[in-house]
Amino acid sequence: MPSDAQIHYDLEDLLRRLNGIGVALSSVQHNLNALLERILQEARRFTRAEAGTLYLVKSEHLTFEIIQNDKLQIFVGGSHGKADIPPVALNRESVSGYVAVTGETLNIADVYAEDGRQFEGPRNYDRMTGYHTRSMLVVPMRDHEDQVIGVLQLLNALPSEAGEAVAFSAADVALIESLASQAAVAINNVRLIADTEALFESFVQVMATAIDERSPYTGGHIRRVAELTMVMANAINASSTGYFADIAFSEEELEELRMAAWMHDIGKITTPEWVVDKPTKLTTIFDRVELLRLRFALARKELELQVARGVLNADEGQRLMQEIDGDFDFIARVNMPGEFMADKDLARLKEIAAKTFVQNGERQSYIKDEELENLSIRKGSLTDAERQKINDHAAMSIKMLEQIPFTRKLKQVPTIAGAHHEKLDGTGYPQGLRGEQISLQARILALVDIFESLTADDRPYRSKPLSRESVLGILQDMVDSNHIDQEVHEMFKREDLFAKLDTIKAEMAHERKKH
């Protein structure tokens, strides 16, 4: 009989070993396969088990997750690939099934000395492989809600490397039951983290889709930007020569950049749709050129009445009516956004705005001041105030993203996402960052965002897509103006993002057809 000192030593040793196992489990990265492999390795190491299997409960079955057998040199699951083995029914007909259903621990000294159908499985395994199973320790893995989520099965405790298999000791049973309990909690934690990350990922993509689909012109923009951004990042990681040879993004940095790309336009959810999609200069909720059409028509009708009453000479009246028609045709033309409005057109617009007509005894202007402001836009369709609303989405993205409790590995998402409209010379927005204040990740995102927008098939302010040459020319001008990063631009050209964008668009079109 062991002495009190020996018992005390054994208990201390057991606690020390359990603590070591706990530390080992908590130190495993959030990878379920790696965790399961580690659990079985630790269980075998502390019981000197020659072989073992770890099962997880899934639906009405137990699935083989990890299989290890030193004697047969069989290692399946975890880092050795998926265990492609039929599952075990969740009933009392097998040893593992019995333990999963009843929640009881089975410590079997000799499989061949036991009766019952549960032991046909190990015996059949022996017949097929030539292995000889003797002792088994099969323990349920219970989570914090006392639910069995898996089974830990150990085979053949070996007292020494050359010894014959013996029964698992009572100390082994206590140790593995404790380990199984810790392991179940660790497994649930990893699953919870994975489920939470998957939920957050889904939320991000749903939000991105909702933002894109607010406009018929931007559908899929965020996804294309996200995928092209990662193409660039991976290309930089693969560079072994040149400027990026010594630069390598870690897995966490890549994930951070990917998430920032997916969320870079989240602030647009606060931007009015009519500003995002403004197809003409006079558009708000609708195109107000129709109000001008009515106003010009009323002025023309007034001239017709004056001619009919003899107040106005017919020839003079006809001349004035043609002038009104010509002025409105001009208004309709300048209402459409263009690359540049000529000085002569702006002068004529002001002349028309100075004209008045009489209706119901009151003198009215053909063009109101706010309409003149919109029609005078030289490039595009947005006034300065409306363009500021568009630009505000970057600041709003930062504001919204900073309210999300990102994990440590994603803490730079707001900074990267919010800087995708910054320029190296400090003329960008929302913070006017310059040079080294803009991270490499944000520089990549900025270039890709510009590129995707320039290559869009349809935009309200463009009558047709820009040619490849035009896009490349604009990007080069931005490099020359110190707006975008030259080295990132060189990588963009080497990677031929045009071809990769075409591939992404084709994949997205195929997906739309399937749905």
Every domain of the chain and the residues it spans: 4-192, 214-276+388-514, 289-375
Distance CA 375, CA 347 (A): 12
pTM above 0.75, yes or no: no
Whole-number pLDDT of residue 1: 52
Asked if residues 124 and 138 have their Cβ atoms less than 8 Å apart, the reply is no
Neighbouring CB atoms inside 10 A of 487's CB total: 15
CATH classification for the domain delimited by 214-276+388-514, as one of 3.10.20.30, 1.20.120.1200, 3.90.1150.10, 1.10.3210.10: 1.10.3210.10
Distance CA 229, CA 258 (A): 7
Chain center to CA of 230: 11
Whole-number pLDDT of residue 114: 82
Determine what percent of the chain falls in helix, strand and coil, rounding each to the nearest 5.
60, 10, 30
Tell me the CA distances in angstroms from 26 to 30, 38, 144, 187, 344, one per residue in order: 9, 11, 16, 10, 74
Report the CATH number of the 4-192 domain.
3.30.450.40
pLDDT in tens, the chain (515 residues): 556 666 556 567 666 666 666 666 665 556 778 888 888 888 898 889 999 999 999 988 999 989 999 999 988 887 777 777 888 888 888 899 999 999 999 999 998 888 877 788 888 888 888 899 999 999 999 988 888 999 999 999 998 766 788 999 998 898 889 888 888 888 888 888 778 788 888 888 887 777 767 665 556 888 899 999 999 999 999 998 889 999 999 999 999 999 999 999 888 887 777 777 778 888 888 889 999 999 999 999 988 988 998 888 998 889 999 999 999 999 999 998 877 888 999 999 999 999 988 877 788 889 999 999 999 988 888 888 888 887 788 888 899 889 988 888 899 999 999 999 999 999 998 999 999 999 999 999 999 999 998 887 655 555 567 888 989 999 999 999 999 999 999 999 988 888 888 888 888 877 777 76
Distance CA 411, CA 251 (A): 14
Give the N- to C-terminal CA distance of the chain in Å, as an integer: 73
Whole-number pLDDT of residue 120: 83
Tokens of 76: 């399946």
Asked if residues 55 and 63 have their Cβ atoms less than 8 Å apart, the reply is yes
Asked if residues 334 and 341 have their Cβ atoms less than 8 Å apart, the reply is yes
Whole-number pLDDT of residue 489: 95
Bridge-based pairing state of the strands 88-89 and 61-69: antiparallel
How many alpha carbons lie under 13 Å from residue 163 in its C-beta half-sphere?
A: 11
Whole-number pLDDT of residue 24: 61
Distance CA 339, CA 474 (A): 13
